[in-house]
Amino acid sequence: MGPSTKIIVVGGGIGGMTAAVAMAQAGMAVTLLEAAPQFGEIGAGVTLSPNAMKALDHIGICEDVARAGIEPTRQRIQHWQDGRILRPVERADQRAKYGAPYVTIHRADLHAELMKAAQAAGVILLQDAAVTDSEGNSVILHDGRRLEADVIVGADGVKSVIRSRFETTPPHFTGHVAWRALVPAEGDMIPLAEYPGIHIGAGRMITRYPVRGGTLLNLVFFARQDGWTDEGWTIPADVSDLTATYEGWCEEVQAMIAAAGRGRLFKWAINARGPLTDWVVEDRVTLLGDAAHAMTPFLGHGAACALEDAVVLSRALEASDTVAQGLRRYVAARHERTSFIQAESNANADRMQGQDSDTFGLATLRDEESLGLFTYDCRTVAI
């Protein structure tokens, strides 16, 4: 398939942008639609495991992203009450072990690299282009414009408009809420940035890692909590909520809460989707990332799955004589893996926030590395 193949990608996030770049580099005519007034990402961090970085290597920006982020050499899982290390995690060997780095990065820094790649590849970038409906081979924008293509790719997140062509069931609340903050890596935050990791306890956990050259510490607090179902990355929160939720947790946790309270704190309900039996409608519409398989964040693989989807979709279309054949190859290559990761991520929430006061399920922990997720290579997987 070549330049006569017209692609519309709905959603300018990490997965949508990567898909647009990969397909444009493969010679297809790609238009990327972003609902927001301008392309960009929120002020938060993201972890890119080696399998995710292989996707970025496919579009030629792996090392640029690694330089814009941080390659941690170690991480740790700590006890909620006294901060003792329950499990150290080695990260210095990731390149040698998996053929790609393990990176933590500010989402805006990753998006900036993707934007440069999209512009260089000739992707048509349309902002303020929210899609309100889709039918046949077209999408309808909020201002009434109708755009047509041979392939429509829904990369528009957990509340995907394009997914409504597959099912009308809304996302479901998972029983987990999260708070996020970016704080300066200074004072008592320095040792936490230099040795990143997770504090775990019954029904709650906190993850932290540095971004922006180690100048900022990304904090995400997770808890099982009823009564809050608002989903969105930019809902302001009050630090008193954290103080009450993590009462009695160790001094390091209290220091993180205090740091979060000095800046901007946001809270959201974690919503997810059940697996679809198929990701193709009318041999021309498909999904990727959260639109296809929104999952809980307890394996840190939501972004990685979207990046993998993007590359495999591009490769499948490029290798096929027809759109229908390419989309079928894509689903055959990706559906089983993403469904497995969805299920394991949900199970990991139970394991890492269990009731065992000493180990919180670490004895039976199935993390992303022990599950073998890092060895996957979207550049070469059979399509």
User: Which percentage of the chain shows pLDDT scores above 70?
Assistant: 93
At 245 the pLDDT is 96
Q: What is the mean pLDDT of residues 159-169?
A: 94
Greater pLDDT, 158 or 2: 158
Residue 286 belongs to some domain of the structure: yes
Residue 361 pLDDT greater than 70, yes or no: no
Model confidence at 160: pLDDT above 70: yes
| b/e burial code for range 306-336 (CB count within 10 A of at least 16 → b) | bbbbbbbbbbbbbebeebeebbbbbbebbbe
pLDDT surpassing 60 at residue 17: yes
CA distance 110 to 21: 14
- Where residue 181 falls among pLDDT bands split at 50, 70, 90? very high
Q: Which domain holds residue 59?
A: 6-73+100-170+273-350
Tokens standing for residue 94: 């990731």
Q: Which letter does DSSP use for residue 26 in this model?
A: T
Whether the CB-CB separation of 104 and 69 falls below 8 Å is answered with: yes
Res 383: pLDDT: 95
Q: Per-residue pLDDT averaged across 129-147, rounded?
A: 97
Residue type, 246: Y
- Whether 374 has a pLDDT exceeding 80, the answer reads yes
Distance CA 8, CA 185 (A): 40
- At residue 6, the pLDDT reads 98
Give the pLDDT of residue 261. 96
Taking residues 185-207, report their average pLDDT: 95
Query: The domain spanning residue 332 has which CATH number?
Result: 3.50.50.60
- Write down the pLDDT at residue 233: 67
172 pLDDT band (50/70/90 cuts)?
confident
pLDDT at 272: 87
Q: Which amino acid is at 340?
A: F
Evaluate whether residue 122 is within a structural domain: yes
Tell me which of 108-117, 274-283, 353-362 is least confident. Answer: 353-362
Average pLDDT, integer, range 167-193: 94
Q: Is pLDDT above 70 for 267?
A: yes
Average pLDDT on 192-219 reads 96
Is 291 among the domain residues? Answer: yes
Residue in 185, 182, 183, 204 with CA at minimum distance from that of residue 195: 185
pLDDT at 28: 97
- For residue 148, the cross-strand partners are 138
Q: 226-240, 268-282, 348-362 — which one is most confidently predicted on average?
A: 268-282
Instruction: Please state the domain count of the chain.
Output: 1
Burial grade of 230 (CB within 10 A; 0-12, 13-18, 19 or more): exposed
The reply to whether 265 falls in a domain is no
Confidence of residue 369 (pLDDT cuts 50, 70, 90): confident
Contact 195, 258 (CB under 8 A): no
Residues 211-253: tens digit of each pLDDT: 999 999 999 999 998 766 666 767 899 999 999 999 999 999 9
Q: Is residue 369 part of a domain?
A: no
Banded model confidence at residue 3, pLDDT cuts 50, 70, 90 = confident
With cut-offs at 50, 70 and 90, classify the pLDDT of residue 335.
very high
Instruction: Please give the residue that has the higher pLDDT: either 234 or 197.
Output: 197
Could you tell me which residues come within 8 angstroms of residue 68 by beta carbon, excluding any fewer than 6 positions away? 105, 106, 109, 110, 112, 113
pLDDT, averaged across the chain: 93
Please write the tens of the pLDDT for every residue from 288-326.
999 999 998 988 899 999 999 999 999 999 999 999 999
**Domain-located, residue 283:** yes
The pTM is what? 0.94
How many DSSP H helices and E strands does the chain contain?
11, 18
Q: What is the mean pLDDT of residues 180-187?
A: 97
DSSP 114-158: HHHHHHHHT-EEE-S--EEEEETTEEEETTS-EEE-SEEEE---T
Phi, psi angle pair for 136, to nearest 5°: 55, -130
52-108 per-position pLDDT tens digit: 999 999 999 999 999 999 999 999 999 999 999 998 999 999 999 999 999 999 999
Check residue 356 and give its pLDDT. 59
